[in-house]
């Protein structure tokens, strides 16, 4: 009750100020003065307090995290990432106002999708949506399962230009990217938000890319059980004191490379996962070929072009829930399915990574059920909590 009274009296005082002076409070960043006598109150649209932006720029990053693909020209700023957040959640970024980036990259599922393929503005995606956790913390600068985008910035507007996903393709009479820019220029708050992020109100594809990439790079997850353990040891290869024996065994098997006989059957050592999913970021090695998963969802075609995986952090959600199917074709529903794949790789396609093909035989890891369960419990330690609920990465629109 007391809070309500304070809130009411604030509204009344602010009302009085503007009645008396006939001017808006120039210090209030929630109010935009359009210069032509009209004002826009951002609080009518967003849950964001523009007088006290969320911190995206100086987030805590553990000192053992060394990889970072932020380019010099596009470091994260609070204003840039805030604009990126708004664009990421705005349905107006699709031709028919039906989907936003967030439709297929859902915070509750580590910014991936619980559907195997996702519904876009004009159809289904051909591949499973990728989780967007810690996209910044990898050396690899190419994005997408097949790495066809050569930077995160370049990636961000490819879904907008894709006919099925967001529809500004310019093909067959569909609107093109200039139509999107015209649309954003006419929305009463965007010119001001671009000014705050980039200095002038000009809206360009490069600025949209920079803002979206800043927001995506800000999405970080370092509050897992793994991080708690890693913080108190000198080397990631030591057993972690906060881990169970099973989790430590799983870690060791994940980290150590295997030794094979000349038939491709493992004799000893670990399972070699970290050779491609490198710890402690669990980001993806840039030199990998495909891992033998070559399916195409909903078809008998094959696809041997898959050379990237999202980080293996937050594959599973904080309540043990699945954050969606695994692999580009959604062919693994659980981590045990994933291990069954690596245990006995069945195809020997020309692009199968050499590490998975010792002596030109697809690898057989000979995992025992206990070892499989150990690797699964280890992978479950890579899940954080904050990223699923922190409002700084949530939908900022009051109505959308």
Tell me whether residue 31 or residue 364 sits nearer to ligand HEC (CB atom): 364
Residue with tokens 């708690």: 228
With vertex at residue 65, the alpha carbon angle to CA 137 and CA 377, rounded to the nearest 5 degrees, is 85
Terminal Cα-to-Cα distance of the chain (whole angstroms): 30
d(CA 126, CA 388): 26
> Smallest gap, in angstroms, from Cβ of residue 265 to ligand HEC?
15
> Smallest gap, in angstroms, from Cβ of residue 234 to ligand HEC?
25
126 touches 234 (CB < 8 A): no
Tell me whether residue 48 or residue 102 sits nearer to ligand HEC (CB atom): 102
Tell me whether residue 79 or residue 353 sits nearer to ligand HEC (CB atom): 353
d(CA 44, CA 274): 48
> Smallest gap, in angstroms, from Cβ of residue 289 to ligand HEC?
7
> Smallest gap, in angstroms, from Cβ of residue 136 to ligand HEC?
10
Tell me whether residue 83 or residue 375 sits nearer to ligand HEC (CB atom): 375
From the number of C-beta atoms within 10 Å of its C-beta (0-12, 13-18, 19+), residue 246 rates as: middle
The binding site for ligand HEC (CB under 6 A) comprises 93, 99, 101, 103-105, 118, 120, 125, 127, 129-132, 135, 143-146, 152, 155-156, 159-160, 165-166, 212, 216, 271-273, 275-277, 288, 290-291, 293, 306-310, 312, 315, 326-328, 338, 342, 353, 355-356, 375
Tell me whether residue 190 or residue 327 sits nearer to ligand HEC (CB atom): 327
d(CA 297, CA 325): 12
> Smallest gap, in angstroms, from Cβ of residue 353 to ligand HEC?
4
Tell me whether residue 221 or residue 309 sits nearer to ligand HEC (CB atom): 309
99 touches 116 (CB < 8 A): no
d(CA 393, CA 215): 8
Closest CA to 120 of 137, 90, 97, 143: 97
> Smallest gap, in angstroms, from Cβ of residue 152 to ligand HEC?
6
């Amino acid at each position: 009750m007391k809070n309500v009274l304070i809130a009411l009296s604030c509204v009344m005082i602010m009302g009085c100020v503007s009645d008396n002076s006939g001017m808006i409070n120039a210090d209030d960043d929630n109010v935009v003065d359009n210069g032509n006598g009209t004002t826009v109150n951002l609080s009518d649209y967003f849950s964001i307090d523009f007088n006290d932006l969320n911190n995206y720029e100086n987030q805590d990053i553990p000192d053992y995290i060394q990889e970072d693909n932020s380019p010099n020209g596009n470091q994260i700023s609070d204003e840039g990432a805030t604009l990126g957040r708004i664009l990421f959640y705005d349905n107006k970024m699709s031709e028919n106002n039906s989907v936003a980036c967030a439709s297929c990259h859902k915070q509750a599922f580590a910014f991936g999708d619980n559907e195997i393929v996702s519904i876009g503005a004009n159809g289904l995606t051909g591949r499973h949506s990728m989780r967007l956790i810690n996209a910044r913390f990898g050396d690899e600068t190419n994005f997408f399962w097949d790495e066809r985008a050569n930077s995160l910035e370049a990636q961000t507007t490819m879904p907008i230009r894709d006919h099925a996903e967001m529809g500004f393709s310019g093909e067959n009479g569909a609107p093109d990217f200039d139509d999107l820019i015209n649309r954003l220029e006419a929305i009463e708050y965007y010119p001001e938000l671009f000014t705050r992020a980039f200095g002038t109100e000009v809206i360009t594809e490069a600025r949209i890319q920079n803002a979206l990439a800043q927001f995506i790079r800000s999405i970080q997850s370092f509050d897992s059980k793994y991080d708690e353990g890693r913080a108190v040891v000198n080397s990631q290869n030591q057993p972690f004191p906060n881990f169970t024996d099973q989790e430590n065994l799983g870690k060791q098997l994940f980290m150590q490379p295997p030794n094979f006989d000349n038939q491709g059957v493992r004799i000893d050592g670990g399972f070699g996962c970290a050779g491609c999913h490198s710890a402690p970021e669990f980001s993806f090695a840039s030199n990998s070929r495909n891992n033998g998963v070559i399916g195409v969802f909903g078809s008998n075609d094959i696809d041997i072009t898959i050379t990237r995986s999202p980080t293996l952090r937050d594959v599973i959600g904080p309540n043990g829930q699945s954050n969606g199917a695994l692999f580009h074709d959604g062919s693994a529903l659980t981590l045990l399915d994933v291990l069954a794949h690596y245990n006995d790789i069945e195809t020997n396609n020309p692009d199968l990574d050499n590490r998975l093909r010792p002596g030109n035989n697809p690898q057989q890891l000979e995992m025992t059920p206990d070892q499989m369960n150990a690797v699964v419990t280890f992978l479950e330690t890579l899940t954080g909590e904050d990223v699923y609920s922190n409002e700084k990465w949530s939908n900022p629109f009051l109505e959308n």
